């Protein structure tokens, strides 16, 4: 009676293990934890360093007991606290933009350049009859006029055809 239910639970548990311990999910969890810690660090910077320095320039010399920027409010609307959160958000957004868009984009472009430079596709081949060099897509030798269309390897044709499709001219 319970054997079928236990079997279903075991299969679901195994499926969950496969899902939970994939590399991408673990990397995502690490990213979320680091992102939360980074957010707390930026909030601490803004609340404990940046805004107190900013409020020192706008401090009222008559009211020395005020809480600085946290006292900036109008009819219960706390402008100082909102300003702190806004500055925290802008710093985090700027850091994410620089890291994700600029740095990762630069790395992707650099790796694409390296891959393009590593394996240039051949553009010529040797005629098996006269041993002269002819273009890779040639079907007849320009020197001895023999038929050489069967001497092109299949991988070279697809590579050159793809290159010709992306760079017409």
162 and 100 share one domain: no
114 and 129 share one domain: no
104 and 137 share one domain: no
In this prediction the pTM is 0.43
16 and 81 share one domain: yes
Which residue range(s) make up the domain with 130? 124-166
Residue 85, classified by CB atoms within 10 Å of its CB into exposed (0-12), middle (13-18) or buried (19+), is middle
Each residue's pLDDT tens digit in the chain (169 positions)?
677 888 888 888 888 777 777 767 777 777 888 888 888 888 888 888 887 777 776 655 555 555 666 667 777 777 777 888 888 888 888 888 888 788 888 888 888 888 776 556 778 888 888 888 888 888 888 888 888 877 654 345 455 556 556 665 5
Domain count across the chain: 2
Alpha helices in the chain (DSSP H): 3-20, 23-45, 51-57, 79-96, 104-118, 154-166
């Amino acid at each position: 009676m319970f054997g079928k239910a236990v079997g279903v639970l075991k299969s679901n548990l195994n499926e969950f293990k496969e899902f939970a311990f994939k590399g991408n999910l673990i990397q995502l969890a690490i990213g979320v934890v680091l992102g939360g810690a980074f957010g707390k660090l930026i909030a601490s910077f803004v609340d404990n360093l940046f805004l107190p320095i900013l409020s020192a320039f706008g401090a009222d010399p008559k009211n020395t007991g005020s809480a600085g920027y946290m006292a900036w409010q109008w009819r219960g609307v706390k402008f100082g606290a909102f300003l702190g959160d806004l500055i925290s958000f802008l710093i985090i957004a700027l850091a994410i933009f620089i890291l994700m868009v600029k740095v990762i984009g630069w790395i992707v472009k650099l790796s694409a350049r390296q891959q393009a430079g590593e394996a240039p596709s051949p553009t010529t081949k040797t005629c098996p009859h006269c041993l002269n060099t002819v273009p890779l897509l040639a079907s007849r030798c320009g020197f001895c006029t023999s038929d050489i269309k069967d001497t092109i390897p299949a991988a070279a044709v697809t590579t050159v055809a793809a290159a010709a499709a992306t760079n017409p001219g």
